[in-house]
């Protein structure tokens, strides 16, 4: 993502938070970002598409942080899962996305509600797969129902705490409460097999979620362009990490553990630069590639 497009997104996010999504016009964004109408439409076909890009960035950020949290850890550790779930809550707070969500929830715009629904279903599918990792394949038939219950407990607890002005509660403590409760519920559900989320519902969720198609050659091409766009003013360690990752990706026998170890320092090296968004995007693509390669090895 180029610097000007990054500025447009940052400006749009600030205006959506300050004025509300519906109260912010494209003209407001153009004026604040100091660009022409043509430039805006080169990047986005509508204000809705601009919002979708903002939400997609938050998902990329969450995906990277979640992969980093579990790297080198036991995937069955429920405390690691709690931290992973809380990641998106922290990002929403950091970027004030909750105010944008509230603005959309109270609108009558079906297209925007569909975007938020897809956002929710992506979280649901991710947590379902993680619960299967923690508790085993034997709960796969009820993993989606368990995920819904976890998110419901978290959401309503946080809403109640906020209503009571208890803003100091850390997300991890709320998440752990929900996970401890579901830990007690799972044995009963396994015994009775009474669930409401059936196979048809699960298939609907899977069909509604965009699955990233990861191609190694595409990542190599993007990483090459990323490195070529760096200058001597950019972080030297970041440039070295990028070069090491590229070199490893070009090998016939990729050492996944080497790339895993480099992804976090690579992303963080560019976190406060104009290359932050693209570095995050590349890291996210590579984490997906690693997942694909791991599935091949397990198969």
Enumerate the H helices of 193-275 as residue ranges: 199-208, 216-228, 236-249, 256-269
Distance, in Å, from the CA atom of 78 to the CA atom of 197, rounded to the nearest integer, reads 23
Q: Which two tokens stand for residue 262?
A: 């480099």
> Which tens digit of pLDDT belongs to each residue from 136-167?
999 999 999 999 999 999 989 988 887 787 66
Structure tokens given for 247: 């070199």
Q: Is the pLDDT of residue 299 over 60?
A: no
Mean pLDDT within 46-71:
89
Q: Which residues contact 9 (CB under 8 A, 6 or more apart)?
A: 1, 50, 53, 54, 57
No. of helices (H) and no. of strands (E), the chain = 14, 0
23's CB contacts (< 8 A; 6+ apart) are none
- Could you say which DSSP state residue 95 is in? T
Angle between helices 78-94 and 47-70 (to 10 degrees): 150
SS3 content of the chain, % helix, strand, coil (to 5): 75, 0, 25
Cβ-contact 32, 50 below 8 angstroms: no
DSSP 45: S
Is the model's pTM score more than 0.95?
Answer: no
pLDDT tens column, 98-149:
777 776 766 677 777 777 778 888 899 999 999 999 999 999 999 999 999 9
Q: Tokens at residue 76, please?
A: 């069955």
3 state SS of 77: coil
Does residue 85 have a pLDDT over 60?
Answer: yes
Rounded mean pLDDT of 252-265?
A: 91
């Amino acid at each position: 993502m180029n610097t000007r497009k990054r500025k447009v997104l940052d400006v749009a996010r600030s205006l959506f938070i300050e004025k509300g999504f519906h109260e912010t016009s494209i003209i407001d964004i153009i004026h604040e970002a100091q660009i022409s109408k043509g430039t805006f439409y080169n990047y986005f076909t509508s204000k809705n598409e601009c919002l979708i890009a903002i939400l997609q960035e938050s998902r990329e950020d969450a995906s990277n942080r979640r992969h980093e949290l579990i790297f080198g850890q036991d995937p069955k550790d429920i405390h690691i899962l709690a931290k992973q779930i809380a990641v998106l809550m922290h990002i929403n707070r950091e970027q004030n996305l909750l105010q944008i969500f509230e603005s959309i929830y109270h609108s009558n715009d079906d297209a925007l509600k569909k975007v938020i629904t897809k956002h929710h279903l992506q979280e649901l599918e991710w947590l379902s797969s993680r619960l299967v990792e923690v508790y085993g394949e034997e709960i796969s038939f009820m993993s989606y129902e368990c995920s819904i219950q976890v998110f419901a407990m978290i959401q309503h607890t946080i809403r109640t705490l906020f209503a009571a002005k208890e803003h100091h509660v850390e997300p991890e403590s709320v998440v752990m409460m929900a996970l401890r409760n579901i830990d007690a519920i799972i044995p009963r559900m396994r015994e009775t097999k009474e669930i409401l989320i059936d196979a048809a519902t699960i298939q609907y969720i899977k069909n509604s979620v965009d699955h990233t198609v990861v191609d190694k050659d595409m990542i190599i091409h993007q990483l090459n362009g990323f490195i070529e766009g760096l200058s001597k003013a950019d972080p030297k360690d970041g440039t070295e990490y990028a070069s090491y990752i590229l070199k490893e990706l070009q090998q016939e026998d990729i050492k996944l553990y080497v790339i895993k170890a480099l992804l976090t320092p690579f992303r963080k090296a560019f976190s406060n630069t104009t290359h932050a968004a693209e570095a995050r995007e590349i890291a996210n693509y590579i984490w997906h590639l690693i997942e694909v390669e791991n599935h091949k090895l397990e198969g």
